Each structure stands twice: as structure tokens, then as C-alpha cells.
Amino acid sequence: MVMDTLQIRMNPALIKRVDILVKSGIYSNRSEVIRDAVRRFVWEKEAGSINHKGNSVEEIKRIREKLSKETPDLDEINRL
């Protein structure tokens, strides 16, 4: 998948929290933390809340599997 680059500014305290998540092994780099946070935000606005523990990628995969048995627009969900 081709990704666009986005430059953001964050305060040092927030960056420190992101780095703790990376150092703990939950995420492999800062970009994954930010992408996961944005996914969670968008998903919460679109489909309700996601558990705030662990990596939301696996949670989204489970939700996609469940939704695949229903009739929502999966193309729209997969673009998240």
C-alpha cells in the first residue's frame, strides 16, 4: 500500500508517551502509534469505540471479519 507523508507537531510530553509505547514493544515505531491512534479515532466516530488496550489493528481485523458476514460497505471500512 502506498502511503502519503504527513508532518505533525507534538509537544515533548506526548512524544515521550509515544516513545514509551514503542519501547514497550506494543508498536515497532512512532508512525505505527500515530496510525493506530488515528484509526481508533476514525473508527470510534464511524462505528463506535474500540478497546484502548493493545494494538487496534488486530481488533479491526476481528471487526472486519464480523462485518463481512453482514452487509456494510467493506471497501469503505478497509480504507481506514
Question: 3 lies in a domain?
Answer: no
Cα angle 72, 43, 12 (rounded to 5 degrees) comes to 165
Q: How many domains does the chain have?
A: 1
pLDDT of 37-58, one tens digit each?
988 888 777 666 555 666 767 7
Is there a contact between 52 and 39 (Cβ–Cβ < 8 Å)? no
- Asked if residue 6 has pLDDT above 80, the reply is yes
Of 8-22, 36-50, 65-79, least confident by mean pLDDT is 65-79
Question: 6 lies in a domain?
Answer: no
Residues near 17 by beta carbon (within 8 Å), at least 6 away in sequence: none
Closest CA to 38 of 66, 75, 72, 79: 79
Closest CA to 10 of 34, 32, 44, 26: 34
pTM tops 0.85: no
Question: 70 lies in a domain?
Answer: yes
